[in-house]
């Protein structure tokens, strides 16, 4: 079992839009994620939290700084870091079953083992019965579950989630939170979870890293103090509410900064 | 269902109007032969096998040229999207080629390939290939990057990305390009046949015209119209079948 | 990208066109070297053949295109405006659309004889439907709110047509004209192949039949170049006219 602690060391990233000046998206971000930790990245829009995730995922090249997973530097995407996107990114021409099988087919498994695992994860996300449906026939929540099943099926050691529940309505989001926590209970992984929803971050994560407005830096890191799986009741506790308030204000400060920067640029 | 009914009613009404106008001699029967006369001509030509042979030849040439254009066009389009030197080379050619009246090249094709099927088929291919290239290029280039990223993170190789993700994702657009190219193929073939003569719907029509045989000319037009509609409709059905996952999305 | 850089591959092709026939890699009777074609082109210019035929082509093209576009656009807008007309005409238009208009050239010859009239009529037929459909779609797509605002402000129905619907439908109409432009070139060449007498299509096929292949190639290149340039020029003008569009 490979070590899965993640380290960002002085990572900077610049975007070069086709027209216009280069934009510094991340400014010497340093962050450590412990093994099996659930780390939430919180921040206003445009702060670079998704960019940080994409760099970790290997989708963008690391030009300045270092990102290591278990001491080895990241060098491109791979099945050790599974990713779930906000817009699901399901292959629309494949059925649910075919989507989930996709990653499994790249591994050295027998046909029977592949099918078994695919079914296992489809069942896990409660989509049994929909194996032969196309993504266009599914609701948002169902699509997101397929995306999660597809990623988990290849058993990545690290799970990257980019605002995975952002496109869902509040009810579905709540259900997905519980499903995600159940999955984590069964097979714990190191998770880096990007969101702009403060309550979601505090509920799900072990630690919450707040990012500043662009260019993104780590402003502060807050421990949520969960021991084991949080129960839904916890959202009513004094401690939870205080933490949410605190973080909300922290993020809000950054959001206001970002806004004034934009209007200043006029 | 209602639409189909309305459309049929309209077509029937038009035919009735046509027949009446012709019978009443609104214009001379030379200029506008009666619908019944034209139908009768279609019948005799079918029995004498002139129509089936001509129709068969025209469709054969159109479809072979179209198939050539489809294969070449998709291959070149994908190549342009993926290989920079191919893009450098083909971009101006495609950009200039699209708005050019490619039918002007017909005499060149005749010079190079003679007066039989080959020149017509190649002329058809030349005319139809451009929309296919453009569609395949655009479709492959514009694949959603999150799909490619997901595939990579699930373990796809570089080759896998092309064949397993990019091409299926580009397929709807490629299909549209093919649907645009098909009518172009048919038109080009008809014009080539009219210009070069010989057997085929185009040649037959020009022949009829030379003999001032207006029912023959109108019969040709009717045959072309029906054949053209049938092929276009067939293409739509194929699209719906192959893109069943996409069709769902379009209605969702 | 600078046009020089973008069109550089064409220079490469031009070079190949010169070298390959000269080196007899291809029979120079089938593919005269580019320089020979250039010389033939110049001869066409100085002898006046290019002008005579070129002007004939352009006149017929312009007439057919103008008629087709004006009548087509008017018809399309009327169809959108008067619902009743739409119900009758629209299915007819949709049914006729896939029909290749070049197939109507023999009918035009029957009706109008071998001459400019049948060429113009053929071009007209080709340009009509794209203009009708684009004007129809453009007019239909006009935001109802715009129309109601104008009516509420006291505009007459006719004023609404000219001052609201027409301008709002313009982008779509102009796009349809671009399609009609391309089709007009095709029908011009096709009708000149078949009707002959004069015009660039006639020039190309006549020279071809006489074995003067370098003139034939010169003619083909000229028509292609004009077709391409016409499209580019139209595109430029269209973008200037639509500058108010986001």
pLDDT tens, position by position, A50-70: 999 999 999 999 999 999 998
Q: Is C6 contained in some domain? A: no
User: Domain with C144 in it: what CATH number?
Assistant: 1.10.3720.10
What is the overall mean pLDDT for chain B? Answer: 89
What's the rounded mean pLDDT across residues B188-199? 92
pLDDT tens readout for residues C99-154: 888 889 999 998 898 989 999 999 999 999 999 989 988 888 887 788 888 888 88
CB-CB under 8 Å, C110 with B209: yes
Residues with pLDDT less than 70, chain C: 1-2, 84-85, 244-246
Query: Is residue B56 pLDDT above 90, yes or no?
Result: yes
Contact B226, C103 (CB under 8 A): no
pLDDT computed for residue A264 by the predictor: 62
From residue C170, alpha-carbon distances to C136, C174, C184 in Å are 11, 6, 20
CB B52 within 8 A of CB B200: no
Please, are residues C169 and C135 in contact by the beta-carbon 8 Å criterion? yes
* Inside any domain, residue C64: yes
Residue C10 domain-assigned (yes or no): no
C102-105 contacts, C-beta under 8 A, 24 or more apart = C102/B187, C102/B190, C102/B191, C102/B194, C102/C126, C102/C186, C102/C187, C102/C190, C103/B187, C103/B190, C103/B202, C103/B205, C103/B220, C103/B221, C103/B224, C103/B225, C104/B221, C105/B194, C105/C187, C105/C190, C105/C191, C105/C194, C105/C195
Contact B99 C189 (CB under 8 A): no
Instruction: Provide the sign of the torsion angle of the four alpha carbons A38, A44, A48, A51, taken in this order.
Output: positive
- The residue range of the domain holding C174 is 34-245
Which residues of C fall within a CB distance of 8 Å from B186?
Answer: 100
DSSP 8-state code for residue A18: S
What local confidence, expressed as pLDDT, does residue A172 receive?
86
Average pLDDT score over chain A: 89
- How far apart (Å, rounded) are the C-alpha atoms in residues A92 and B124? 34
pLDDT higher than threshold 90 for residue A93: yes
Query: Whose CA is closest to C67, among C189, C165, C177?
Result: C177
Is the distance from CB of A22 to CB of A10 less than 8 angstroms?
no
Closest alpha carbon to C223 in C84, C89, C79, C50: C50
- Structural domains of chain C, count: 1
Confidence of residue A171 (pLDDT cuts 50, 70, 90): confident
pLDDT for residue C72: 92
Q: Which two tokens stand for residue B86?
A: 């191919």
Q: Would you state the pLDDT for residue B252?
A: 44
Q: Do A79 and B150 touch (CB under 8 A)?
A: no
CA distances from B70 to B131, B140, B182, B187 (A): 10, 15, 9, 16
Q: What's B99's domain CATH number? A: 1.10.3720.10
Residue C4 lies in a domain: no
Question: Given an 8 Å threshold on Cβ–Cβ distance, is A82 in contact with B144?
Answer: no
The whole-number pLDDT of residue B89 equals 92
pLDDT of residue B248: 57
User: What percent of chain B is predicted at pLDDT more than 90?
Assistant: 56
What single DSSP character describes residue B171?
H
How far does the CA of residue B150 sit from the closest CA of chain A (Å)? Answer: 7
Main-chain dihedrals φ then ψ at residue A187, nearest 5 degrees:
-140, 90
* Cα distances (Å, whole numbers) of residue A207 to A179, A193, A221, A223, C29: 20, 10, 7, 4, 80
Range of the domain at B118: 59-180+226-243
Chain C residues whose CB is inside 8 A of the B210 CB are none
pLDDT score at A124: 87
* Across B37-44, average pLDDT: 87
| Widest distance between CA atoms in chain C | 76
Closest-CA residue of chain B to A54: B149
Share of chain A above pLDDT 90, in %: 56
Cβ separation of B168 and A93 shorter than 8 Å? yes
Which of A50, A85, A89 should one mutate to test binding to chain B, selecting the residue with the greatest count of B CBs within 10 A?
A89
One DSSP character per residue, C14-27 reads HHHHHHHHHTTSS-
pLDDT on residue B250:
54
Domain total of chain B: 1
Q: Which of residues 148-187 of A touch B (CB under 8 A)?
A: 150-151, 154
Distance CA C33, CA C21 (A): 6
Residues of A in contact with B244 (CB under 8 A): 134
Model confidence band, residue B63 (pLDDT cutoffs 50, 70, 90): very high
Q: Is residue B74 part of a domain?
A: yes
pLDDT of residue B224: 92
B149 part of contact set with chain A, CB < 8 Å: yes
pLDDT band at residue B17 under the 50/70/90 scheme: confident
Of A102, A135, A137, the CB nearest to B154: A102
Contacting subunits of B (3+ beta carbon pairs below 8 A): A, C
Which residues in chain C are contacts of B107 at CB distance < 8 A? 204-205, 208, 216, 220
List, in order, residues 6 or more apart from B38 with CB less than 8 Å away: B215, B218, B219, B222
Residue C240 neighbours by CB under 8 Å, 6+ apart: none
pLDDT tens per residue, range A8-48? 999 999 988 888 888 889 999 999 999 999 999 998 887 88
- Among B100, B104, B217, select the one facing C204 at the smallest CB separation: B104
Q: Tokens 């004009």 appear where? A: C226
| Inter-chain touch C216–B100, beta carbons under 8 Å | no
The answer to whether position C52 is within a domain reads: yes
Chains A and B touch (3+ CB pairs under 8 A): yes
B10 or B197, greater pLDDT: B197
C228 found inside a domain:
yes
CB contact under 8 A, C220 and B108: yes
Q: How far is B55 from chain C (nearest CA, A)?
A: 14
Listed residue (C180, C64, C58) closest to C121, CA to CA:
C64
Q: What is the pLDDT of residues A216-262, one digit of tens each?
A: 899 899 998 888 888 888 888 899 999 999 999 999 988 888 887 76
Instruction: Give the minimum alpha-carbon distance from A174 to chain B in angstroms, rounded to a whole number.
Output: 25
Of C111, C186, C194, the CB nearest to B31: C111
Q: How confident is the model at residue A266 (pLDDT cuts 50, 70, 90)?
A: very low
Would C21 be classed as within a structural domain? no
Residue B149 tokens, joined: 């990223």
Do residues A87 and A232 lie in contact, with contact meaning Cβ atoms separated by under 8 Å? no
- Tell me which residues of chain C, numbers 90 to 109, contact chain B at a CB-CB cutoff of 8 Å: 91-92, 95, 98-100, 102-107, 109
Residue B189: name the closest of B94, B72, B103 by CA: B103
SS3 of C99, please? coil
Q: What is the pLDDT of residue B25?
A: 77
**DSSP summary character for residue A135:** G
- B143 close to A (CB below 8 A): no
ipTM of the complex: 0.89
Give the mutation candidate from B33, B66, B76, B101 for the C interface (greatest C CB count, under 10 A).
B101
- Reduced 3-state DSSP string for C125-147: HHHHHHHHHHHHHHHHCCCHHHH
Residue B45 maps to a domain? no
Compute the count of residue pairs across chains B and C with CB atoms less than 8 Å apart: 136
For chain A, the chains sharing at least 3 beta-carbon pairs closer than 8 angstroms are: B
Residue A216: its pLDDT value, please? 86
Q: Do A83 and B156 touch (CB under 8 A)?
A: no
């Amino acid at each position: 079992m490979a070590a899965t602690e993640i380290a960002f060391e002085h990572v900077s990233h610049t975007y070069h839009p086709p027209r216009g000046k280069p934009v510094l998206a991340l400014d010497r971000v340093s962050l450590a994620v412990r093994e099996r930790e659930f780390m939430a990245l919180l921040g206003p829009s445009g702060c670079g939290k998704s960019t940080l995730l994409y760099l970790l995922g290997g989708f963008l090249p690391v030009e300045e700084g270092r990102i290591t997973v278990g001491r080895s530097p990241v060098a491109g995407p791979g099945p050790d870091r599974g990713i779930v996107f906000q817009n699901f990114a399901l292959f629309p021409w494949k059925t649910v079953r075919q989507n989930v099988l996709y990653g499994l087919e790249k591994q050295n498994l027998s046909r029977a083992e592949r099918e078994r695992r695919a079914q296992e994860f489809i069942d896990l996300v409660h989509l049994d019965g929909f194996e032969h449906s196309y993504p266009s026939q599914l609701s948002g929540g169902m699509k997101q579950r397929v995306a999660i099943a597809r990623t988990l099926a290849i058993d990545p050691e690290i799970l990257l989630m980019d605002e995975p529940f952002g496109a869902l309505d509040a009810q579905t989001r709540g259900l997905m939170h519980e499903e995600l926590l159940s999955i984590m209970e069964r097979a714990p992984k190191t998770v880096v979870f990007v969101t702009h929803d403060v309550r979601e971050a505090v509920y799900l994560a072990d630690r919450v890293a707040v990012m500043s407005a662009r260019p993104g830096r780590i402003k502060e890191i807050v421990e949520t103090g969960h021991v084991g799986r949080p129960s839904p009741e916890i959202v009513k506790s004094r401690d939870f509410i205080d933490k949410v308030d605190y973080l909300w204000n922290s993020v809000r400060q950054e959001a206001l900064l970002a806004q004034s920067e934009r209007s200043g640029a006029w | 269902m209602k639409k189909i009914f309305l459309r049929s009613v309209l077509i029937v009404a038009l035919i009735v109007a046509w027949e009446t106008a012709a019978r009443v001699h609104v214009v001379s029967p030379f200029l506008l032969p009666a619908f019944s006369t034209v139908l009768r001509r279609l019948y005799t030509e079918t029995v004498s096998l002139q129509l089936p042979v001509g129709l068969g030849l025209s469709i054969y040439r159109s479809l072979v040229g179209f198939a050539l254009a489809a294969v070449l066009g998709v291959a070149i389009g994908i190549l342009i999207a993926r290989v920079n030197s191919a893009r450098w080379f083909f971009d101006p050619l495609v950009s200039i080629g699209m708005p050019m009246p490619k039918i002007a090249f017909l005499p060149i094709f005749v010079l190079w390939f003679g007066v039989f099927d080959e020149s017509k088929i190649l002329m058809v291919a030349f005319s139809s290939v451009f929309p296919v290239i453009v569609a395949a290029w655009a479709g492959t280039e514009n694949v959603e990057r999150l799909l490619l990223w997901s595939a990579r993170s699930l373990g796809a190789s570089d080759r896998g990305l092309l064949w397993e993700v990019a091409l299926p994702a580009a397929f709807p657009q490629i299909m549209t390009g093919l649907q645009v190219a098909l009518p172009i193929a048919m038109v080009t073939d008809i014009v080539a046949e009219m210009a070069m003569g010989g057997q085929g719907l185009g040649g037959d029509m020009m022949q009829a015209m030379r003999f001032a045989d207006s029912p023959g000319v109108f019969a040709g037009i009717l045959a072309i119209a029906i054949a053209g509609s049938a092929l276009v409709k067939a293409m739509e059905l194929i699209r719906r079948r192959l893109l069943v996952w996409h069709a769902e999305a379009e209605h969702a | 990208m600078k046009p020089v850089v973008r069109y550089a591959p064409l220079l490469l092709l031009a070079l190949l066109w010169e070298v390959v026939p000269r080196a007899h890699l291809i029979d120079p009777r089938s593919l005269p070297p580019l320089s020979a074609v250039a010389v033939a082109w110049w001869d066409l210019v100085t002898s006046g053949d290019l002008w005579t035929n070129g002007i004939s082509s352009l006149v017929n093209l312009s007439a057919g295109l103008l008629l087709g576009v004006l009548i087509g656009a008017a018809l399309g807008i009327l169809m959108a405006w008067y619902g009743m007309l739409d119900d009758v005409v629209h299915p007819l238009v949709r049914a006729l659309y896939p029909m290749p208009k070049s197939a109507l050239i023999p009918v035009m010859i029957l009706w109008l004889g071998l001459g400019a009239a049948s060429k113009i009529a053929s071009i007209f037929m080709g340009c009509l439907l794209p203009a009708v459909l684009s004007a129809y779609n453009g007019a239909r797509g006009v935001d109802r709110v715009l129309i109601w605002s104008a009516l509420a402000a006291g505009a007459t129905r006719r004023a609404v047509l000219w001052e609201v619907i027409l301008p709002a439908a313009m982008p779509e109409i102009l796009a349809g004209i671009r399609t009609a432009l391309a089709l007009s070139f095709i029908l011009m060449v096709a009708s000149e192949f078949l009707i002959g007498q004069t015009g660039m299509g006639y020039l190309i096929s006549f020279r071809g039949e006489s074995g003067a292949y370098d003139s034939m190639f010169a003619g083909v290149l000229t028509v292609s170049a004009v077709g391409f340039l016409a499209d580019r020029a139209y595109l430029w003008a269209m973008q200037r006219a639509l500058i108010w569009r986001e």
